[in-house]
Amino acid sequence: MGEFELIRRCFLQARQGPGVVTGIGDDCAVLQVPPGQQLVVSIDTLVEGVHFLPGTEPSRLATRLLGAAVSDLAATAATPAWLTLALTLPSGDADWLEPFAAALAQRAAELGISLVGGDTTRGATLTLSAQVHGLVEQGQALLRCGARAGDRILVSGTLGDSRAGLETLLKPQAVDADRAWLQQRFFRPEPRLELARHLRPRLQAGLDISDGLLADLTHLLNASGLGATVDCARLPLSPALQRIFPDQAEAWALSGGEDFELCLAVAPDQVTACQAEAQRLGVPLTDVGEFQTREGLRVRGADGRLLEGLHQGYDHFKEHA
Amino acid sequence: MGEFELIRRCFLQARQGPGVVTGIGDDCAVLQVPPGQQLVVSIDTLVEGVHFLPGTEPSRLATRLLGAAVSDLAATAATPAWLTLALTLPSGDADWLEPFAAALAQRAAELGISLVGGDTTRGATLTLSAQVHGLVEQGQALLRCGARAGDRILVSGTLGDSRAGLETLLKPQAVDADRAWLQQRFFRPEPRLELARHLRPRLQAGLDISDGLLADLTHLLNASGLGATVDCARLPLSPALQRIFPDQAEAWALSGGEDFELCLAVAPDQVTACQAEAQRLGVPLTDVGEFQTREGLRVRGADGRLLEGLHQGYDHFKEHA
């Protein structure tokens, strides 16, 4: 079977969604943005040997790729709409493509996003790029700028789990319930779409935590022209993380990366309302610190003292040399 | 310099264009589609060792990547608007990134497209994906379906040059003017944006020739439910191609791929008007055959007889094994 036929067979099962005038199979997809809405777009790449281990099941790659990409839409408080893929595969292998396409179609349906186009090429290194397109009411996109001194730093979910899940893959042992849950956190990010949309009117600024809390918070501080202090004692740590990796839990929560939780700037008088809304949606939302006028990012240890010389996050070129 | 800083320095020079509400540097770009317009999108990938030779100058990769991607917008008769990039680089090397970004910025400005976001990762194989976003009046996107029996097959420019340019790179010798021109055709595709937009009201269907005339025409036939006959004697061949590769010229014009010219379906009584308009724009537009009710794609040789067993085009998995 040739490229055209294989791709067609695997991906034409993807559903046609709202606003798709012409989907897969033409030179371009033709899409209808509803009146009063703005388009938000983001592109993300996963590379074998850098973001995942060689031999990873294709279905896990599909959920990882899509979760990470759609998380950027959540970070903008947007509603997912359309997806395009650029896949570079070592071989045109149905054993890989079929389970990948099936898992992708299922996860895309769950997240409300429609595959509308793509490009598949051969290449030595398995490389997967996803561009996501979302919609947001005119002027309502959540951005990194806009935090104010005195705003609280809220984070959704728990932090450090994804890094812990990776660790259990790097140093495999028997996979108990905790390790399976941590691996799920790595392979199946849950974009906080509902949370972001519901909280949007109460938020000053926000982003998703892909590079690690400290690194991403630094982006937010740079964009907003502020400093901040984070309290380690307040970091939301999952029971599984604390049980399996008690010694690394705090460091990974600060700098582990790829948690795909939200980091939000909220006025102090809105914190309680935000937390009540989050509770209603079943998502923890934890106050971990404060935005401040004084520049720089400070981290207060569990003993109340400021920590020094922290690694600020994930940098592909430094970390994976 | 870390990833963030390097990328920022290289790509923030990209211009902010119309409709860019929030560009590079947030979780998503926020974009404004004007009322009455539809969004068209396409994604394209170049992989080292598959689409270009190792060691190719980064500036040439920038023009190749952008030309090929924007050609899909031309094929839809759309106006270019926004660009996102997914780059996978073997190293975070300023010697590569800076000339790439500079050439990209210049070519993007020429083509009227604004870089609004991207993702850069490390990986063993240099892999470049570009997603282009264009705008088209409601319902006016040029599609592959809609050709009718009796319509003429028109192609823009000359065919086979890009394949010839690649050949001069694969078997290097002294680069004379002809070879330099053919290489330019490979590295600097010229999307037929103006031509497509001007001819749009007279066109039934169309696409761009990326996989080779026969392969792409087959896509058009499948989408339109038709057959066709192409006359080899009418194929537009450049003087350079005929001088340097007289024996391969016809085969490459039929199946060489990556010409990024347009293949259009035009009613017989509109051909003269289309050609006059193309001449005004300085682009050859050649009638190479006819759409027919009878299924299948037939090729008539220069001697008037139908050819058999032609290779229909470019297939990554077959061709680059």
Kindly state the average pLDDT of the residues A292-296: 95
B3-137: which CATH architecture? 2-Layer Sandwich (3.30)
> Do residue B144 and residue A27 have CB atoms under 8 angstroms apart?
yes
Report residues of chain B scoring pLDDT below 70.
1-8, 13-15, 92, 309-321
Mean pLDDT of chain A: 91
Indicate the pLDDT class of residue A319, thresholds 50, 70 and 90.
very low
- Confidence (pLDDT) at B25: 78
Region of residue A144 (phi > 0: left; psi between -120 and 50: alpha; otherwise: beta): alpha
Structure tokens at A309: 């010389």
Residue B13 has what pLDDT?
62
List chain B residues with CB under 8 Å of A35: 35
Binned at pLDDT 50, 70 and 90, residue A318 comes out as very low
Q: Is B257 helix (H, G, I), strand (E, B) or coil?
A: coil
Measured CA distances, B122 to A208, B5, B10, B93, B100 (Å): 21, 15, 16, 10, 16
Tell me the H-state helices in B24-126: 58-75, 94-111
Residue A318, C-beta contacts closer than 8 angstroms, at least 6 positions apart = B2, B3
The CA distances from residue B319 to A7, A119, A122, B219, in Å, are 16, 16, 10, 19
Tokens of A161: 């789990």
Tokens coding A253: 């929560």
Q: pLDDT by residue (tens digit) across A32-75? A: 999 999 999 999 999 999 999 999 999 999 999 999 999 999 99
Q: Which residue of A43, A48, A71, A144 to mutate against B (max B Cβ within 10 Å)? A: A43
Q: Which two tokens stand for residue A15?
A: 């559903």
Predicted confidence (pLDDT) per residue in A181-211, tens digit: 999 999 999 999 999 999 999 999 999 999 9
**pLDDT > 60? residue A165:** yes
Residues of A in contact with B28 (CB under 8 A): 40-42, 72-73, 75-76, 78, 134, 141
Q: Is the pLDDT of residue A98 over 60?
A: yes
A313 has pLDDT over 80: no
Q: What secondary structure letter does DSSP report for A232?
A: G
Name the residue ranges covered by the structural domains of chain A: 3-137, 152-319
In the A/B pair of chains, how many CB contacts fall below 8 A? 227
Average pLDDT on A20-27 reads 84
Return all residues near B291 (Cβ < 8 A) that are at least 6 apart: B147, B148, B149, B150, B151, B152, B153, B221, B224, B226, B227, B228, B265
A121-154 pLDDT tens trace: 889 999 999 999 999 999 999 999 999 999 999 9
What pLDDT shows up at residue B153?
98
B206 is in an annotated binding site: no
Among B41, B49, B76, beta carbon nearest to A84: B41
To the nearest whole percent, how much of chain A has pLDDT over 90?
79
| Phi (first) and psi of residue B320, to 5 degrees | -110, 30
Q: Which residue from A67, A89, A83, A80 is spatially nearest to A7, judged by alpha carbons?
A: A89
Q: How far is CA B139 from CA A31, B70, B142, in A?
A: 10, 20, 9
Nearest to B142 by CA among B258, B38, B44, B66: B38
The answer to whether A208 is a known ligand-binding residue is yes
For residue A129, the chain B residues in CB contact (below 8 A) are 43, 45, 86, 119, 129
Flag whether pLDDT at A304 surpasses 60: yes
Select from B82, B9, B58 the least CA-distant residue to A43: B82
Residue type at A181?
Answer: W
Alpha carbons B46 and A84: distance in angstroms, whole number? 16
Which of A72, A119, A123 shows the shortest C-beta gap to B50?
A123
3-state secondary structure of B97: helix
As a whole number of angstroms, the distance between CA A229 and CA B301 comes to: 76
Q: Would you state the CATH architecture of domain B152-319?
A: Alpha-Beta Complex (3.90)
pLDDT of residue A13: 62
A39 to B30: CB separation less than 8 angstroms, yes or no: yes
CB contact under 8 A, B316 and A27: no
pLDDT at B95: 87
Residue the block writes with tokens 């020079």: B13
